[in-house]
Amino acid sequence: MRRYSCMFLVVLVTVLIITGCAAQQASGTREQGLDKKGILVVSFGTSYADTRKVTIEACENRIAEHFPGYEVRRAFTSSIIRNILKDRDNILVDSPEEALTKMKEEGFTEVIVQPLHIITGEEYTEVLETVADFEGAFEKLVVGRPILTTIDDYKAAAEALKTQLPQLKKDQAVVLMGHGTPHPANASYSCLQLVISDMMPNVFVGTVEGYPGLDDVTARLKEADIKEVTLVPYMVVAGDHAQNDMAGDEDDSWKTILKKEGFVVKTYLHGLGENPGYQQIYINHVQDCIDGYPMGHQAE
Ligand code: CO
C-alpha cells in the first residue's frame, strides 16, 4: 500500500513538473512578443498609377498610420490588373489568397482583412470565400465591411461625400457614377440615392453596369429642370470607368450623351479614395473588427 502511494506521488510530481514547464514555455512565447498583427487591404486594383497613388495607396497609408501595431499589406482581386502591372510596370501585387498564404507562413497571429469595396457585392463575397479557406490558420482572422453595409454606413458615406461636392444652384446637379452589378447588392445604389436625397437636393445616383442606368438618371434630370451637370465617380478609384465611360470623348461616354441631350457637362476626376472622409470610414471599419463588431455596432 505504501509502495503504491509512493509511486503515485512520484507520478504526480512528474506530471506537475511537466505541466509547469509547458505552461512556462507558453507564457515565455507570449512574453517574447511573437504576436504578429497585420491588416490586409483588399481592393479591385487599378492599372492607372496616378489615381492608384492618391486613392488605394492613400487609404493603405492612412490605415497604417492609424494602426502602428499592425503591418499593412496590399492585395488586388483583379487578375487582369495584377497581370498588366506585372508585365507592363514590373509591379508585383498579391491576390488575397497569395497575401494570406504569405502571412500564414510568416507566422501572423492576427489578420484583419479590410476591403476597399463600396458594396457587399460579388467582389466582397469572393473575399469572404477566400478568407473562409484560411479558417484556423490564424488565432484571429476578421473581415471588415465595405462602405455601404449598415444604414449608419450609408449616412456616414453620404456625409463624407457631401464634403467633396460643389455648391449647387437650382438648375445644377451632380450625377454620381457608381459601378453597378447583376448581384443583389445592386440595391445599395437605390438606398444610397434615398439617403443622399434626404440630405441634399439635385444629387443623382447612376451606374455603369446596373440600375439605375444613365437613361433613368437623364429622365430625372429633365424632370428637375437641370441645365448643368457635374459628373462624379462613385468609385474608390478614378480609373478606367471614370476616365473613359464617364468623362471620355467617345460617343458612348456619359459626358458625350448628356451633352447631346442639351446639358452643360463638367467632369470631376477624383476617386472616393482621395476623400479623407472615406479614408476615415475604412479606418473605422478596421477599428470595428479589432473591437469585435465587424458588421457594425448596430447590427450586433
Ligand atoms: Co467594371
The per-residue pLDDT for range 54-107, each reduced to its tens digit, is 999 999 999 999 999 999 999 999 999 999 999 999 999 999 999 999 999 999
What's the CA gap between 276 and 81, in Å, rounded?
A: 25
What's the CA gap between 116 and 133, in Å, rounded?
A: 20
What's the CA gap between 167 and 171, in Å, rounded?
A: 12
Contact at 8 Å (CB) between 235 and 192? no
Q: How far is the CA of 37 from the centre of ligand 1 (A)?
A: 32
Per residue in 150-180, pLDDT tens?
999 999 999 999 999 999 999 999 999 999 9
Q: How far is the CA of 108 from the centre of ligand 1 (A)?
A: 33
Count CB-CB contacts under 10 A for residue 218: 21
What is the set of active-site residues? 179
pLDDT value for 297: 85
Per residue in 39-56, pLDDT tens?
999 999 999 999 999 999
Cell numbers placing 150: 449598415
Q: How far is the CA of 179 from the centre of ligand 1 (A)?
A: 6
Per residue in 185-222, pLDDT tens?
999 999 999 999 999 999 999 999 999 999 999 999 99
pLDDT-based confidence at residue 33 (cuts at 50, 70, 90):
low
Q: How far is the CA of 185 from the centre of ligand 1 (A)?
A: 15
pLDDT-based confidence at residue 4 (cuts at 50, 70, 90):
low
Best CA proximity match to 221, nearest among 267, 187, 170: 170
Contact at 8 Å (CB) between 44 and 81? yes
The verdict on whether omega for the bond into residue 276 sits within 30 degrees of 0, i.e. cis, is no
DSSP result, 140-167: EEEE---SBSSHHHHHHHHHHHHTTSPP
Q: How far is the CA of 149 from the centre of ligand 1 (A)?
A: 20
Query: Which CATH fold topology does 165-269 show?
Result: Rossmann fold (3.40.50)
In this model, does residue 6 exceed pLDDT 80?
A: no
Per residue in 122-149, pLDDT tens?
999 999 999 999 999 999 999 999 999 9
For the domain made up of 37-147+275-299, the CATH class stated in words is alpha beta
Q: At what angle do helices 56-66 and 276-291 cross, to 10 degrees?
A: 50
Cell numbers placing 86: 506585372
| Number of H-type helices and E-type strands within the chain | 12, 8
pLDDT value for 258: 98
Residue spans in the chain of domains classed CATH 3.40.50.1400: 37-147+275-299, 165-269
Contact at 8 Å (CB) between 145 and 294? yes
Q: How far is the CA of 236 from the centre of ligand 1 (A)?
A: 12
